[in-house]
Chains A and B, each alone.
Chain A
Amino acid sequence: MTAFERKLAPDPAELPPARAALRVWLHDVGVDEEDATADVLVVTSELLTNGVFHDGGDLITLRADRQDADVSIEVTTVDHLPGRHPTYRDVEDSAEGGRGLEIVHALSHGYNVLRHDHERVTACRVTANDQSRGAPA
């Protein structure tokens, strides 16, 4: 089973094709349940959107893999170009990023943010089967 990887420019126009590619991969690895697919796609969309608008880098890498009953999602952004000052703003301080992370928090098993010199990695896991899922309120 092959993990998913896609590199994209920090451009909102890249979001629909990235989700479409991830949807195909989810199907290929057997994640077909409607709510599970929707959760992975929306969590990914939120993380990518934060990467596009808040990280100030020039390249985003989206990775996904099956981890037991979960799908792991990892979004890596380059914080700034070499020789330039970082432009990173904490997404949790912004209304838009905060709202997106509210969704990530609700639909995933929590997310972690790791910062390296020029990189920021946001990782989380989303349940890939329909057990323990509730119906919409």
Chain B
Amino acid sequence: MALTVAPPSISGGVRFARTPVMRAESRRPRSGRARLVVTGEVDASNADRLRLAILDAARKTEGQLEVDLGGVTFMDSTGLRAMADGSRALEPCGSRLVLCKVPRQVLRLLAITEIGATLGVRR
């Protein structure tokens, strides 16, 4: 199942770069779980798309949502916030967001931010 990237019109007036620098694609590795693969750069120009992709993938799983960041080449606080928002939205449904293949640059951000401590990481 491929996730369709949310159109800019639902992003609250935030405009996106003509060439998307982030791709988010969901897969189902096994029953009850879902995986969202994120690649490219995540910043204020596309963090809303990541948030929506997480929420969309969460609706399609009853268990754990793995967010695969192995192909992420840059992330700032807006990306962390999108993932934390997604994680919070999953909790009432009994689901859980887990980050995997986290690049060094993102690991360092998680280590120095309060929000990073709230996100589960598989090492």
Contact A103 B105 (CB under 8 A): no
Query: How many interface contacts (CB-CB < 8 Å) are there between A and B?
Result: 83
Contacts known (A13-B17, A102-B112, A103-B109); A45 close to B43, Cβ less than 8 A: yes
A35 to B108, CA, bound (A): 9
Asked if A42 is an interface residue, CB under 8 A from chain B, the answer is: yes
Binding site for B on A (CB under 8 A): 11-13, 15-17, 19, 34-35, 38, 41-42, 45-46, 49, 52-53, 95-96, 99-100, 102-103, 106-107, 136-137
B74-A106 in contact (CB<8A): no
Q: Are A16 and B17 in contact (CB under 8 A)?
A: yes
The 9 closest A-B pairs by CB, nearest first: A137-B111, A12-B45, A106-B112, A136-B107, A12-B44, A45-B76, A38-B105, A13-B17, A100-B77
The one of B15, B17, B76, B107 in contact with A42, judged by C-beta atoms closer than 8 angstroms, is: B76
A73 to chain B, nearest CB (A): 14
B15 to chain A, nearest CB (A): 5
A35 to B45, CA, bound (A): 23
The residue on A at minimum CB distance from B14 is A12
- Docked pose: A34 CA to B115 CA in angstroms: 23
A41: which B residues are within 8 A, CB to CB?
Answer: 74
29 A-B residue pairs with CB within 8 Å: A11-B15, A12-B15, A12-B43, A13-B15, A13-B17, A15-B43, A16-B45, A19-B74, A34-B105, A38-B104, A38-B108, A41-B74, A42-B75, A45-B44, A45-B74, A46-B76, A49-B76, A49-B78, A52-B44, A99-B77, A99-B113, A99-B115, A102-B112, A102-B114, A103-B76, A103-B109, A106-B112, A136-B108, A137-B110
